[in-house]
Each structure stands twice: as C-alpha cells, then as structure tokens.
Amino acid sequence: MSTDMAADQRKKPGVVIKDGWTGYSLELFNYPEHYKGDLECVYIPHGVIMNRIECLARDILEDIGHHDMMVLCVLKGGYKFCSDLVESIKAQSRSTNSRLTTRVEFIRFKSYLNDQSTEDLHIIGPDDLSMLKGKNVLIVEAIVDTGKTMRALLQHVETFQPKMVKVAGLLVKRVPHGAAELPDYVGFVIPNRFVVGYALDYNEYFRDLNHICVISETGKQKYKV
Amino acid sequence: MAAFLEISDDSKGHELSLFCVPKHYEDDLDSVIIPNGLIKDRTERLARDIVRDMGGHHIVALCVLKGGYKFFADLMDFIKTLNQHSDKSVPLTVDFIRLKSYCNDQSTNCVKVIGGDELSALAGKNVLIVEDIVETGKTMETLLKLLHECHPKMVKVVSLLVKRTPRSSGYRPDYTGFEVPDKFLVGYALDYNEYFRDLSHICILSDRAREKYKV
C-alpha cells in the first residue's frame, strides 16, 4: 500500500476500542424514535466520529495534499464517511491557501448477507477508471473486516496505474483472520461486533442513524432478510 | 436521579495525536478525556430532556459566565432547533451572571453574584441555570438560595460536568452531562487562569502546565 517512509512511521492504529467496551447507554443520547428497541447501545457517538475525521483529514492533507486527489468512495456504507472526510479535507485545505482539487468517484461491493461476510465479491461502478492514471488515489472505506474487499479493490485499482494509492478506513475490526495490513488512515479499531449507523446498514436499515451503535437481538430479528 | 455519562476514575482518555488540538497546547496536555463531538451529542440529548420538562412555560436561561458560555451557546442552539421543529414552541430569553469564586485551582469559599438583569424579572418564570462544572456544590447552593427569593415558577440546574470529589456537599444538578474524576480539566471553555478556553475538547492538564500557567 504505502511506500512512503515518513507516513509509515506515523501510521497510527487509530483510536483503539477495547474488547470489553459496552458502549454508552441509549438514554444519554438522541436517536430516531423508529429505532427504539432495535439498538443495544451507542458504540461511537456521531460527534466523536466527526472529531476523529477532522484529525484524519489533517493527516491525509499533510501526506498527499500537495497533488490533486482522486477519492474513490466505497458505497453504500462509505458514503457518510467519504462525504464528511472530503468536506473536512476541503475546509482545512481552504484555510491553508493550497490549490488542492479533489474529485470523487464511487464504487460498489455486494458482500454481506444479514450480518455475515459472504464469499461473493462483485465490483460495480465505473468500468473505466482510467482517470486514476498518474494520480494520488485515496480509497475511502467505512469498515475493514476480513480485508478481502480492500485487497480486491487495491488489485483492481493498481491495474489503472495510479501514482500512489492510500486507504482510509473509518473502522477496522479485530477479527481472527483479519486484514494483515491496516489501512493507511484508521479512525477506530473495534472489537468483532456487528455495528450499524453512520451509513453502515443491516439489510439496508440503520443508515439513517447518525451514531454508530450495536444492534439488539430484537433488531436483528425484526429486519432479517 | 437523572442519567449522566460517567467518565471513570481510571479513564486515561485519548492520545492527543488522535484528535485535532491547537499546536500551542500540545505540550501542556496529557490526553483528551471528552472530545468536543461527544460533548455536542450529549448536549443535544440534554436539550431534549430540558424542553420535555420545562417547555410548558417561558424559559429564562441563566448563563453562569465565563466557564458556562460555550456550553450555554451550544445548549441554546439545540433548544432553539427543537423549538423550530415542534408543533408547540416556548419563548426563550437569556441572561448572564458571573460568580466569582476561583483562584488557580483551589475553590475558595467566597461566592459573589455579579451582573444580570433585575433578578425580580424571574418571578413566575421557569428558570434554567446553565453551569459548566459543579464541584463542591456550594456555589450552586448559594445561587439557588438567592434565586428562590425572586419567586420563580420553577428553577432547574443543568451542568455539563459534575466532579466526583470528597469535597462535594452532596448537591446534584437536575441535568448532568458527564460525571468526571477529580482531575484538573481544561478546554471547551474550562480555563486555567484564563488559558485553554480556546481548546475545543476537554483535556487533562499536565502537572508541568499547572506550573507554567500559574498566577
């Protein structure tokens, strides 16, 4: 992934959430009424996500902000993270008088059924990614689990000969056969729990929840496919 | 008792490098204990709870300067948003008072109320006192005694933080954002001799910095 020495040294693991973390009680936060009973706890509040993103944007700008950036957003889960990350990058870049331009492209994967990662990996999106050639590419993913998606995408992107490719992952899961290599920019490292919210779904539900939460058993049954 | 978010005594907070902190404070802080975003999310919920309980009648929000101003502004914004989007809304007026009781980091026993409109205007109103932090509770108890003489309809206190300290008189506000350990905290308008008000996260002040910014 990254061959840049300085950036490697600084490759921080992100905010580490320990295995025993029980999250925050729902009664301490605001969330949509229609999900009452479907959630167990607030795992990562929206505000903390935003603060962490501000920091990732700062790090990204420092590393690759001197050339035009092509952002590749992995839909659908990545859309909120990508949108907020790019906004923060643009805002911080504005205040430093830089001439950075960012362009965003979208790509889709189908790889989850209910809450289990499946074997199938279909890449849907622009067939012609030739605009990546010679550019600094930032792949933006909401969650890195087994790392399969990330590897497949990297292989796919490399065929278009970009100048440099970096990966930003909001969440990285600690799983038994997890991704051997961490993304270059990591928001939070979390235990192996199924989380929803902030555009992460359970069969398309919960994308409209702004905190990252743990789904309850009731919720799992209610929205099961 | 009202719900609150507990920050435990052994909580080490987050490493400074994982959040955006002004460069001029990088050596003065040990860690980020409550990120700004978490403060905002908790405040949003407090606003909802407050409007649910006090929304039936004209609310006078009384801001305790200076520490309370940031929390006050954010809380008012959320209350105003709720007012805008609901079928029934409630008039909200504001006032500011100062309580002088701090020097360095030792809470002195002297409490004086400065500023504010005629406190008699509070008669018959729902008064919401907005404070940044409750430690011994003595400041709040003094203020409440004073306000009751103005015959408000209802008086409630919301404090962003309540410290777990043996010096506490046992007083608890009606609404609490976070319960925090007895460490020296700065940021989000909590100052140390006027410094750190420009820090958006709540952080633990390093021992070295306590000396550095001492009066």
Q: Does position B17 have pLDDT exceeding 50, yes or no?
A: yes
Q: Check if B203 contacts A (Cβ < 8 Å).
A: no
Q: Tell me if B90 sits within 8 A of B55, measured CB to CB.
A: yes
Q: Check if B179 contacts A (Cβ < 8 Å).
A: no
pLDDT (mean) for A100-114? 73
Q: Which of B12, B17, B41 to mutate to test the interface with A (most CBs of A within 10 A)?
A: B41
Q: Does position B105 have pLDDT exceeding 70, yes or no?
A: no
Residue B207 lies in a domain: no
C-alpha distances in Å from residue A73, one per residue of A143, B112, B119: 12, 56, 56
Residue B66 lies in a domain: yes
Q: How far apart are CA A174 and CA A192, in angstroms?
A: 6
Residue B199 lies in a domain: no
pLDDT (mean) for B49-69? 84
Q: Which domains does chain A have, with CATH numbers?
A: 46-193 (3.40.50.2020)
Question: CA-nearest residue of chain B to A25?
Answer: B5
The count of domains in chain B is: 1
Could you tell me what percent of chain A has a pLDDT over 90? 40
Where does the pLDDT of residue A26 fall: very low under 50, low under 70, confident under 90, or very high at 90 and above? very high
Q: How far apart are CA B125 and CA B108, in angstroms?
A: 31
Per DSSP, B3 falls in state: -
Of A14, A28, A49, the CB nearest to B37: A49
Backbone angles phi, psi at A145, to 5 degrees: -115, -85
Residue B168 lies in a domain: yes
Q: Which tokens is B27 given? A: 């050596």
**What's the pLDDT score for residue A186?**
95
Q: Which tokens is A42 given? A: 């607030």
In this structure, the dihedral spanned by the alpha carbons of residues B150, B156, B159 and B163, taken in order and rounded to 10 degrees, is 90
Q: How far apart are CA B178 and CA B35, in angstroms?
A: 12
Q: How far apart are CA B167 and CA B85, in angstroms?
A: 42
**What's the pLDDT score for residue A1?**
41
A59 in catalytic set: no
Could you tell me the residue range of the domain that residue B132 belongs to?
37-180
Residue B125 lies in a domain: yes
Min Cα separation B199/chain A (Å): 13
Residue B30 lies in a domain: no
Lowest mean pLDDT among A30-39, A41-50, A75-84: A75-84
The interface residues of chain B toward chain A in range 21-80, judged by CB-CB distance below 8 A, are 35-42, 44-45, 48
Average confidence score pLDDT of chain A: 84
**What's the pLDDT score for residue B159?**
95
Where does the pLDDT of residue B68 fall: very low under 50, low under 70, confident under 90, or very high at 90 and above? confident
**What's the pLDDT score for residue B116?**
66
pLDDT (mean) for B118-144? 89
Q: How far apart are CA B175 and CA B128, in angstroms?
A: 10
ipTM over 0.90: no
Burial class from Cβ neighbours inside 10 Å (0-12, 13-18, 19+) for residue B108 reads exposed
Residue B6 lies in a domain: no
Residue B167 lies in a domain: yes
- CATH number of the domain bearing residue B143: 3.40.50.2020
Q: How far apart are CA B130 and CA B96, in angstroms?
A: 10
Q: Check if B18 contacts A (Cβ < 8 Å).
A: yes
Q: Does position B100 have pLDDT exceeding 80, yes or no?
A: no
The model carries a pTM of 0.80
